[in-house]
Amino acid sequence: MQGLDFSVVPPYADILWLGVWWTVVLTISAALISFVFGIVFALVVLYAPKTVALPVRAFMWLFMGTPLLLQLFLIYYGLGQLGFKIPALIAGIIGLGLHFAVYNADILRAGIVAVDAGQTEGARSLGFSRMQTLRHFIVPQAIRNTIPAMGNNLIVLLKESSLVSIIGIAELVHAAQLAISETFRPFEFYITVAALYYILNLVLEAGLRQVEKNVEVSR
């Protein structure tokens, strides 16, 4: 047992900041993928012909029933086997993005179904096509109503982004591991990393609250 000494941390501030930066980039990129594909998956499951909807539904079912870490291994090694030479960073973003797209799709599907049928009837009777009705009336309302739930997913995504360190992406956890390999001080560095995630989390939560408030006002 050795005493704790947090003065080993400041010399590695630059590396840790770079780690924070990459964690933010990773989270934002994966969040965008999870949002766009969440909408696509939800629409496919609801409106596409069975031949398209069934595989997507099976994919969602598979990704909801298995751990994210396992999915990251599949995508990282699987894409390589299929002949796509992609860097770990891209594999991590795709893996995180698809994982959370599935959860967003589940929320959005319920949100789309919950939009009042009168909205569709109204838009259709004004001469909008089915596609236009979805695009301009139904989906925007569904997104607005599901912002709190998708925001929760985003908070989980930020924390789960730590998993991509396992496939070798140089984000926050990886930065800490680098420092630990030189200092042999895991406790100090992992506590520091935990504190940094906690702060990122507080910032994200404050941001989401603001977004929700703005949405409430514009209603």
CB of 42 to other proteins, least distance (A): 21
Angle value at C-alpha 217, between 216 and 218, nearest 5 degrees:
95
Please report, as residue ranges, which positions from 76 to 105 form the binding site for other proteins (by CB under 8 A). 77-78, 80-81
CB of 82 to other proteins, least distance (A): 9
CA distance 7 to 9: 5
Q: Is 67 in the site for other proteins (CB under 8 A)?
A: yes
Residue from 13, 36, 126, 194 in contact with other proteins (CB under 8 A): 194
Phi and psi angles of residue 142, each rounded to the nearest 5 degrees, phi first: -65, -40
Q: Residue 192 is which amino acid? A: T
Q: Which is nearer to other proteins, 138 or 163 (CB)?
A: 163
Region from 40-48, 50-58, 108-116, 187-195 binding other proteins, contact rule CB under 8 A: 187-195
Q: Is 206 in the site for other proteins (CB under 8 A)?
A: no
CA 32 vs. chain centroid, Å, equals 7
CB of 196 to other proteins, least distance (A): 9
Residue from 129, 201, 210, 214 in contact with other proteins (CB under 8 A): 201
- By rule CB under 8 A, what string of x and - marks binding of each residue 156-185 to other proteins? ---xx-xx-xx------x------x----x
SS (H, E, C) 63-120: HHHCCHHHHHHHHHHHHHHCCCCCCHHHHHHHHHHHHHHHHHHHHHHHHHHHCCHHHH
Please report, as residue ranges, which positions from 6 to 65 form the binding site for other proteins (by CB under 8 A). 62, 65
99 neighbors 153 (Cβ within 8 angstroms): no
Q: Is 137 in the site for other proteins (CB under 8 A)?
A: no
Query: DSSP 3-state assignment of 24?
Result: helix
Looking from the CA of 162 toward its CB, the CA atoms found within 13 Å total: 15
Interface ranges with other proteins (CB under 8 A):
1-2, 4, 62, 65-71, 73-74, 77-78, 80-81, 159-160, 162-163, 165-166, 173, 180, 185-188, 190-191, 193-194, 197-198, 201-202
